[in-house]
Structure 1
Amino acid sequence: MKRSTIIGLVVGALVLILIFSAVGSYNRLVSAETAVDNQFAQIDVVLERRDALIPNLVNTVKGYAAHEKEVFEAIAAARKGLAGAGTAAEKADANNQMESALSRLLVVVENYPNLKADTQFTRLMDELAGTENRISVERRDYNNAVTSYNTKIRRFPASIYASMFGFEKKELFKAAPGSETAPEVNF
């Protein structure tokens, strides 16, 4: 075989290796990005569930605590913010505002012992607690998917293909500063 033929075959093999590497990396990055988008959608589903429960809870509490207008307004504002949030950072911020408003609502509830004994209120609180647990699980799963994706787009050689094809870092769903401290409720 001629030397030029051998060189042509080697160059052709290297080109094929690069093409297959690029295609494989691109497909892995697409899969990872899709997993992130899916997990973000799961957070939306659970946040919408909580959003649907809150008006029932608020209406139940309103019957007992009609003069607690500020708390109800904070919840309404937080629901509006959550509905208008688009990015992970906006949803995290709106979620933190909702958690703050719900914490204030729970403090109001403590002032009304008859409300705590109401079966409708108890059922709604159980539903809300279950939903909050689901939100926590979905946030964890989303953050795991984002971490995996962000790691993939930073590893070599995928980082080259990620920058070529426009794959960008995703934001984690972060809790608000101070949220690690439980709200104080006095009986």
Structure 2
Amino acid sequence: MKLRLVAGLVCAALLSACGLNSVPTSEENAKAKWAEVQNQYQRRADLIPNLVSTVKAAGAQEKDILVQVTQARASASQVRVSDADLTDPAKVQAYERAQAGVTLSLQRLQEAYPELRSQANYATLMTQLEGTENRIGIARRDYNEAVQSYNTTIRTFPDAIGAKIFYGAKPLVPFQATTPGADTAPKVDFGT
């Protein structure tokens, strides 16, 4: 009887150190951080129609860029990444490319229409968009930190044992820049 009790305690101690709780905790944390990335992209998508409405009033010459912004937003809204897709680099990259298209179209809008910045509504919306872009950057960073923690957890002893045996854990894909030249600072030229 004592031998069974000792064996049971030893088994319990071994199981408690093999990631039974830390693996799903890390995975759920990473999923929550991904949800925040999507939340911030949704916030941006919700602001764009207001920006478009404000800028439309300024005249027909903005039409081309506004169409690009609207199309980029529509395209980005169609690309979805679920929790199950976080282990598929192709799906995560497709999502990143769609969001990068929105970012580029917003940058073109800002560069092409500096005279509109004096309008109070436009300035307010641009400030909100800038804040949203910052929030997106923070959400991406937080997600990548959570992915790094999760991926480290499932690869290091003793948690790797539970990760493989009990959960069949696979590494999650971190968020990476997919825009060509994103690693190089852009040249700012005001034509002077």
Contact 2:65–2:108, Cα closer than 8 Å, also in 1:
no
Report the structure number with the largest CA radius of gyration. 1
Equivalent residue for 1:112? 113
- 1:73-95 per-residue CA deviation (whole Å, 9 max, x = no partner) reads 5423433234x333345455434
Task: Please show how residues 4-83 of structure 1 align to structure 2 within 5 Å.
Answer: 9=3, 13-24=6-17, 25-64=19-58, 65-68=62-65, 71-82=68-79
Q: Once the 2 structures are TM-superposed, how far is the Cα of residue 63 of structure 1 from its aligned partner? A: 3.5
Equivalent residue for 1:136? 137
Task: Please show how residues 174-185 of structure 1 align to structure 2 within 5 Å.
Answer: 174-176=176-178, 177-184=180-187
Q: Once the 2 structures are TM-superposed, how far is the Cα of residue 174 of structure 1 from its aligned partner? A: 1.5
| Secondary structure of the corresponding residue to residue 136 of structure 1 | helix
Q: How high is the TM-score relative to the length of structure 1?
A: 0.79
Q: Pairwise CA RMSD of aligned residues? A: 2.7
Q: Once the 2 structures are TM-superposed, how far is the Cα of residue 110 of structure 1 from its aligned partner? A: 3.0
Q: CA distance change for structure 1 residues 138 and 70 in 2, over 3 Å: closer, same or farther?
A: same
Separation (CA, whole Å) in 2 of partners of 1:146 and 1:112 = 39
Q: CA distance change for structure 1 residues 63 and 180 in 2, over 3 Å: closer, same or farther?
A: farther
- Amino acid of the residue matched to residue 178 of structure 1? G
Separation (CA, whole Å) in 1 of partners of 2:92 and 2:122 = 27
Identity %: 33
Q: How high is the TM-score relative to the length of structure 2?
A: 0.77
Separation (CA, whole Å) in 2 of partners of 1:69 and 1:132 = 18
- Amino acid of the residue matched to residue 104 of structure 2? S
1:101 counterpart = 2:102 = yes
Q: CA distance change for structure 1 residues 81 and 181 in 2, over 3 Å: closer, same or farther?
A: farther
Q: CA distance change for structure 1 residues 61 and 79 in 2, over 3 Å: closer, same or farther?
A: farther
| Secondary structure of the corresponding residue to residue 170 of structure 1 | coil
Separation (CA, whole Å) in 2 of partners of 1:110 and 1:180 = 20
